[in-house]
Structure 1
Amino acid sequence: MRDPHYTEAWVDALAPYNPMVDLCIRLRIQRALLHLSNLTRRADAPAVAGMPSTCKITRASAANLDALRTLPRAASILLFTPVIIPAGRDEPVEERRNEDPFEPFGRALSRHHKRIRHVPYVTKVGFTDIHEGFISQADAVITVVCEPDRGKNESMSDQMDFAEQALDALEGKEANASNALVLVQCGEDEFRPPVDASFMNVIESTTYNPEIAKYIAKAIFKAKV
């Protein structure tokens, strides 16, 4: 049974990024609807019972996460994920070629909040006015940066550029809105780009898979693991 609370990723529409698709998504958008002093340092990051040691909340403001966890039911949380094949994916690529590997994360989040809008981004295309349009309709944003199966260094750098522009757009929408964004970084330490201090809520994991996605969703919403 399909989860009525989860808006699936529009991979087929977004990935090509041609002019006609751009127009189509624009029409969909029209139709659809304290800084460092507040941060928890890495050594003191809050633990989540049952979370694997490879997955940690490395930076967090308790007040900010509490605000996200207590959003009204009608509030919308926007999930940005890269259009990539994550490193170390369990299933052979050819077996699940057309499935978005981050869809399990979106569905895991939807178990804790009723309105999750999942929107992919193409790393080489980057942040566009389409993504900005989605941010204008969102009450909070979760952005994923993940080590890809190939081209690790370059692609992760492009993904961090996207995350930074998403944060800029959110702050442009509302002063001090950085508290409404959670950055999720997945990948080995040597491939994870440095995170700017303006990201107030950061979760890191050395791997990404559907099971880890459940732990990350529970960590964000402080659910019992």
Structure 2
Amino acid sequence: MAPGRNESPDAHEERGEANGVSHPQESNGLGLNSPPMQNGAGTSLRVRDIFDSLAVIGDLDRTDAVLVLSPIVPPVSWAPNSDPFECFCRALENRHSHIRHTTYDNNSGIMDTHRQLIRLSRVIILILADSEAAGRTPQINVLHAHMTVATAGDDKRVIIVVADSSEESWQRLVDFPTVLQATDYSQASLERTVSAIFREF
């Protein structure tokens, strides 16, 4: 359970909550605190939503902007001539009318133009993926997440989607309250992630 805003740090410690933040067991989208689903050897989807931020996105006004920040990655076989994250945005647009999508470079990260868009948005969905991970453990850049959260401030919701199933990536994001971990950035995986964001299963 998330701590009350008026509780003292001592109360948090008594409940075993570090720095006033509890970390519930991962969820597979079938209900928080349920074990992650397995798909072969890997986890198909994990969800952590400590402060119930996913409830906000389903209750937005039509004019509230949702910003998607996705990394530039090499073309994939099922979308050789387009951004593989476009299907993610189309799935979002089927559920909310005001979606903005812009890309960022993994090397240069979140720049001034991105920060301006973050300030104009109600919800920010940051996608993290390692574009050079073939044959090795993905190395996501958590600095992008810190920069996005710092820019957003307290009045906006930041949802982080990590598009790889490695345990290392999940653990590196343990300090962020709302994280979804997809298996990869295939169309099926990304569309399932959108369903989880809107709490459809």
Report the TM-score, using the length of structure 1 for normalisation.
Answer: 0.67
Q: Relative contact order: is structure 1 or structure 2 higher (C-alpha 8 Å, sep ≥ 6)?
A: 1
SS in structure 2 of the partner of residue 67 of structure 1: helix
1: CA distance, partners of 2:57 / 2:94: 14
Q: Specify the code of the residue in structure 1 equivalent to 2:54.
A: L
Distance 1:60 1:152, change over 3 A: farther
Q: Where in structure 1 are there 5+ consecutive unaligned residues?
A: 1-33
Paired position in structure 1 for 2:9? none
1: CA distance, partners of 2:22 / 2:190: 23
Contact 2:29–2:47 (8 Å) recurs in 1: no
Distance 1:153 1:191, change over 3 A: farther
2: CA distance, partners of 1:150 / 1:64: 30
Identical aligned pairs, as a percentage? 21
SS in structure 2 of the partner of residue 63 of structure 1: coil
1:185 pairs with 2:174 = no
Listed as ranges, the matches of 1:74-223 within 5 Å are 74-85=63-74, 89-91=76-78, 96=80, 98-150=81-133, 156-158=139-141, 160-171=142-153, 175=154, 177=156, 180-189=157-166, 192=169, 194-197=172-175, 199-223=176-200
Paired position in structure 1 for 2:10? none
Distance 1:147 1:38, change over 3 A: same
Q: Where in structure 2 are there 5+ consecutive unaligned residues?
A: 4-16
1: CA distance, partners of 2:138 / 2:114: 19
SS in structure 1 of the partner of residue 127 of structure 2: strand
Q: Specify the code of the residue in structure 1 equivalent to 2:148.
A: A
SS in structure 2 of the partner of residue 156 of structure 1: coil
Distance 1:152 1:83, change over 3 A: farther
How far did residue 217 of structure 1 move?
0.5
Between Structure 1 and Structure 2, which shows a larger proportion of helix residues?
1
Distance 1:190 1:148, change over 3 A: farther
How far did residue 151 of structure 1 move?
7.1
Contact 2:182–2:190 (8 Å) recurs in 1: no
RMSD: 2.9
Contact 2:45–2:183 (8 Å) recurs in 1: no
Listed as ranges, the matches of 1:23-42 within 5 Å are 34=2, 41-42=24-25
Q: Specify the code of the residue in structure 1 equivalent to 2:145.
A: A
Report the TM-score, using the length of structure 2 for normalisation.
Answer: 0.74
1: CA distance, partners of 2:46 / 2:152: 22
1: CA distance, partners of 2:165 / 2:49: 21
- Aligned length in residues: 176
Per-residue CA distance 1:42-64 (angstroms, 9 max, x = gap): 24x26339x96333233113632
How far did residue 188 of structure 1 move?
3.6
Q: Specify the code of the residue in structure 2 equivalent to 1:85.
A: P
Contact 2:24–2:50 (8 Å) recurs in 1: no
How far did residue 155 of structure 1 move?
7.5
How far did residue 150 of structure 1 move?
4.2
How far did residue 146 of structure 1 move?
1.5
Contact 1:153–1:191 (8 Å) recurs in 2: no
